[in-house]
Chain A
Amino acid sequence: MAQFNEMYQGTAVRAPYARLQDWVAAMPQELRSLKQAEAEALFRRIGITFAVYGEGGDPDRLIPFDMFPRVFSGAEWARLEKGIKQRARALNAFLVDVYGRGEIIRAGRIPGQLVWQNEAYEKAVVGFVPPKGVYSHIVGIDIVRTGPDEFYVLEDNCRTPSGVSYMLESREIMMRMFPGLFRENRIEPVDGYSEKLRRTLASVAPKKCKGDPVVVILTPGHFNSAYYEHSLLADLMGVELVEGQDLFVDGEFVYMRTTEGPRRVDVIYRRIDDAFLDPLCFRPDSMLGVPGLMDVYRSGGVTICSAPGAGVADDKAVYTYVPEMVRFYLGEEPILKNVPTWQCGRAEDLAYVLDHLPDLVVKEVHGSGGYGMLVGPKSSREEVERFRAKLIEDPGNYIAQPTLALSTVPTFVEEGLAPRHVDLRPYCLVGERIELVPGGLTRVALKEGSLVVNSSQRGGVKDTWVLAE
């Protein structure tokens, strides 16, 4: 499989990477090792670590950072940006529709069963239109590249996509360590993200809110793997970071306990799952949420971001229909392509998948984090056969996709620079306006040849540059 190297075409260097060529050439091995150690120390000092559930080991393990940046030209980004915003608009239109009249189902463009019997479809919010008609306020879209102009969406994350702190910190550290690079290259800044996020959240304040909206971030607590990110975003936005027990419902509103007494809360950027939000509506044993929250939400006393129920749009089976959503709601052709996907729940698809298992990537419909998946070409025959048994037992739980020839970006390894596979997660903000900072999180599979970039599977991160035109 021919792999697209984002820096080199043969021996020629692609334009966006031109100046990095000299930078690497001018950096002796000793300096590189020194800088790598410095980067790690910086990450350690700011405390950005990534704990992974169920993996054991060091919960404060550092996520590996690679100093070699990933670069997009302004023109490349402009096209990506259009595609990302288009997709975020369509996903939100879909959510408003399926909790309303369900026109796309009536029109026969998506099977009702996929939506209505989906675990992520929340009956409790049927008939409710959140402020500004937005269900998913932060849409994280995972994109891979296979050629100069070939981009594919791997999956959408409409609930609470994490990782934006790595985008911000990677940039911060690169600027600190290599200020020269930022003088020589005209790199679009990403530090506007937190202000844009704050503006987005404030723009969806509920009708009952008069005056300047009070925004909080609701975290499950410090044991959560993304806690660092929750506190960083709260800091950057200048809003309170709260846990469920810091909030309470009184009458028609939600309040937070402060040293100066209760303070009304208008917008909750929650980083906990729907099931834990409110024991009076969802899981009755949840200690993380706020009892009575959903009653306040449904009557317009508070806004919850992302809106409960948003998860039905990023289900891996629903994913197949996102291009259809773009056509149906926007009347446009999708700019970003989907990866061709087989639904193992369909008999003819399953037959194909079983016949081609060693060539395919198979994922759980509700899985995330790179767990419970099969990468056919990278698996032993036994692994494939073990997976085949699981697949036959519960085919509806799986989708399959061809193994894509993911693009590579030069990455520092023991022996020097070597190509490693990357993906990209930009964070699209949807409120009164749709905004996207030029950049995102580039994840890199540090293991040679590996296609799995998840941080839970030995993936690292890179700074992502968008060059000003």
Chain B
Amino acid sequence: MRLTVDHVTRYSYDHPVRSVVQSHRLTPSVFAGQQVIDWEITVSEGTKGSTHRDGAGDQVQGWTIAGPVSAVEVRVRGTVDTTDLAGVLRGHRETVAPEVYLRTTAPTRADVALESLARTVGDSDLLSLAHSLSTLVSEAIAYRPGVTHAHTTAAEALALGEGVCRDHAHALIAMARVRGIAARYVSGYLFAAQDGTPHEAAHAWAELHVPGLGWIGFDPANRCCPDDRYIRLGSGFDAQDAAPIRGVARGGAREAMDVTVAVLQAAQ
């Protein structure tokens, strides 16, 4: 499928700040499931900083914006050809050992409820266990925007029974680690057809590591594995670690953020 992305993030400050520094994971991952046709990232009045591919295979790009500045616009536009690999991250070059992702972080720490939920399914083989866990999360946390926030933990989302893709992913990661499966948070985009299913175009899901197969994506929010409607950007222990944009403004102003994302299918 050929997908086009237009993703604009606007930061505005209530008074001009001295400078803004950002670190981006906004470039599509290099693997067999996606091929970049064109991709451009622009930052208003920004100076491109250093770039590197990290051990997890993500393209990381630094940006600096000299002040005084009261608004910054980050715009991502591009076209990617995607292939359905049933969630398998085939041909992705990375050097971080999967076992590193057995570590827990604050939002992905399993409480008693997550732990016992994770233990309600058998483990005939790891792949079916991974699928079962993902289904459990879909059933336990209903999609509802606005009830959780950036710092909601997996345990809190489960107790609430509601949340967004970020909460689904955190919960699945927490439960997978309980069962000894390395798991990580993935951020990216999702093209949603007009079939009424809930979606977030700026999307997130989880990847679980199954020895022999490698990393496999699971999207409990949409009860499926990522296919050709998905564009993968980067990964991390949790949402913060995998954030497409991390930034700091110097100058102590209050920051407001506005995001618009359009993911469309393009004619090939």
Q: Measured between C-beta atoms, what is the minimum distance from B246 to chain A in Å?
A: 5
Given contacts A117-B103, A281-B23, A284-B246, contact A249 B54 (CB under 8 A): no
CA distance A112 to B21 in the complex (A): 35
**Which residue in chain B gives the minimum CB-CB distance to A100?**
B95
**Which residue in chain B gives the minimum CB-CB distance to A300?**
B50
Find chain A residues with CB under 8 A from B61 CB. 295
**Which residue in chain A gives the minimum CB-CB distance to B24?**
A295
CA distance A281 to B95 in the complex (A): 18
Contact between B55 and A127, CB atoms less than 8 A apart: yes
CB proximity to A under 8 Å, residues B59-97 = 60-62, 64, 66, 95-97
Find chain B residues with CB under 8 A from A119 CB. 103
B47-59: CB near A (< 8 Å → 1, else 0) gives 1111110111000
CA distance A124 to B49 in the complex (A): 17
Q: Which of B54, B99, B248 contacts A127 (CB 8 A)?
A: B54
Contact between B52 and A295, CB atoms less than 8 A apart: yes
Q: Which of B51, B64, B100 contacts A117 (CB 8 A)?
A: B100
Is A121 an interface residue, CB under 8 A from the partner? Answer: yes
Is A358 an interface residue, CB under 8 A from the partner? Answer: no
**Which residue in chain B gives the minimum CB-CB distance to A297?**
B50
CA distance A117 to B101 in the complex (A): 8
Given contacts A249-B49, A298-B52, contact A280 B21 (CB under 8 A): yes
Given contacts A126-B55, A127-B95, A291-B21, contact A298 B102 (CB under 8 A): no
Q: Measured between C-beta atoms, what is the minimum distance from A251 to chain B in Å?
A: 5
Find chain A residues with CB under 8 A from B148 CB. none
Is B44 an interface residue, CB under 8 A from the partner? Answer: no
Q: Helix, strand, loop or mixed for chain A's interface?
A: loop
**Which residue in chain B gives the minimum CB-CB distance to A119?**
B103
Is B222 an interface residue, CB under 8 A from the partner? Answer: no
Contact between A284 and B240, CB atoms less than 8 A apart: yes
Contact between B62 and A292, CB atoms less than 8 A apart: yes
A92-113: CB near B (< 8 Å → 1, else 0) gives 0000000110100100000011
Q: Which of A125, A127, A292, A300 contacts B21 (CB 8 A)?
A: A292
Find chain B residues with CB under 8 A from A102 CB. 97
Given contacts A121-B100, A123-B100, A126-B96, contact A295 B49 (CB under 8 A): yes
Number of A residues contacting the other chain (C-beta, 8 Å)?
Answer: 34
Is B22 an interface residue, CB under 8 A from the partner? Answer: yes
Q: Helix, strand, loop or mixed for chain B's interface?
A: strand
Contact between A116 and B52, CB atoms less than 8 A apart: no
Find chain A residues with CB under 8 A from B99 CB. 112-113, 116-117
Is A345 an interface residue, CB under 8 A from the partner? Answer: no
Given contacts A127-B55, A292-B64, contact A298 B19 (CB under 8 A): no
Contact between A298 and B95, CB atoms less than 8 A apart: no
Counting chain B residues whose Cβ lies within 8 A of the other chain, the interface size class is 20 to 34
Find chain A residues with CB under 8 A from B60 CB. 295, 298
Given contacts A251-B47, A251-B64, A291-B248, contact A280 B54 (CB under 8 A): no
Find chain A residues with CB under 8 A from B48 CB. 251
Is B247 an interface residue, CB under 8 A from the partner? Answer: yes
B229-262: CB near A (< 8 Å → 1, else 0) gives 0000000010010000011101000000000000
Q: Measured between C-beta atoms, what is the minimum distance from A133 to chain B in Å?
A: 16
Is A301 an interface residue, CB under 8 A from the partner? Answer: yes
CB proximity to A under 8 Å, residues B8-51 = 19, 21-23, 47-51
Find chain A residues with CB under 8 A from B21 CB. 248-249, 280, 291-292
Given contacts A126-B95, A298-B50, contact A280 B56 (CB under 8 A): no
Find chain B residues with CB under 8 A from A296 CB. 49-50, 62
Q: Measured between C-beta atoms, what is the minimum distance from A45 to chain B in Å?
A: 39
Is A221 an interface residue, CB under 8 A from the partner? Answer: no
Is A189 an interface residue, CB under 8 A from the partner? Answer: no
Find chain A residues with CB under 8 A from B23 CB. 280-281, 292, 294-295
Q: Measured between C-beta atoms, what is the minimum distance from A157 to chain B in Å?
A: 23
Is A299 an interface residue, CB under 8 A from the partner? Answer: yes
Contact between B47 and A299, CB atoms less than 8 A apart: no
Is A252 an interface residue, CB under 8 A from the partner? Answer: yes
CA distance A126 to B50 in the complex (A): 17
Is A250 an interface residue, CB under 8 A from the partner? Answer: yes
Q: Which of B47, B52, B103, B248 contacts A250 (CB 8 A)?
A: B47
CA distance A116 to B47 in the complex (A): 35
Contact between B97 and A249, CB atoms less than 8 A apart: no
Find chain A residues with CB under 8 A from B100 CB. 116-117, 121, 123, 126
Find chain B residues with CB under 8 A from A298 CB. 50, 52, 54, 60
Find chain B residues with CB under 8 A from A117 CB. 99-100, 102-103
CB proximity to A under 8 Å, residues B169-211 = none
Contact between A299 and B22, CB atoms less than 8 A apart: no
Q: Which of B62, B237, B248 contacts A295 (CB 8 A)?
A: B62
Find chain B residues with CB under 8 A from A248 CB. 19, 21, 250
Contact between A123 and B55, CB atoms less than 8 A apart: yes
CA distance A291 to B49 in the complex (A): 12
Contact between B56 and A249, CB atoms less than 8 A apart: no
Which among A105, A113, A292 has the greatest number of chain B C-beta atoms within 10 A? A292
Which among B21, B64, B103 has the greatest number of chain A C-beta atoms within 10 A? B21
Contact between A279 and B248, CB atoms less than 8 A apart: yes
A239-257: CB near B (< 8 Å → 1, else 0) gives 0000000001111100000
Contact between B248 and A280, CB atoms less than 8 A apart: yes
Q: Which of A284, A291, A299 contacts B50 (CB 8 A)?
A: A299
* 5 interchain pairs, CB-CB under 8 A: A123-B55, A127-B96, A249-B62, A252-B49, A294-B23
Leading 6 A-B pairs by shortest Cβ distance: A126-B55, A299-B50, A295-B62, A291-B248, A127-B55, A292-B21
Task: Beyond A126-B55, A292-B22, A292-B248, list 9 extra A-B contacts (CB 8 Å).
Answer: A117-B100, A123-B96, A252-B62, A280-B247, A281-B246, A291-B248, A291-B250, A295-B62, A296-B50
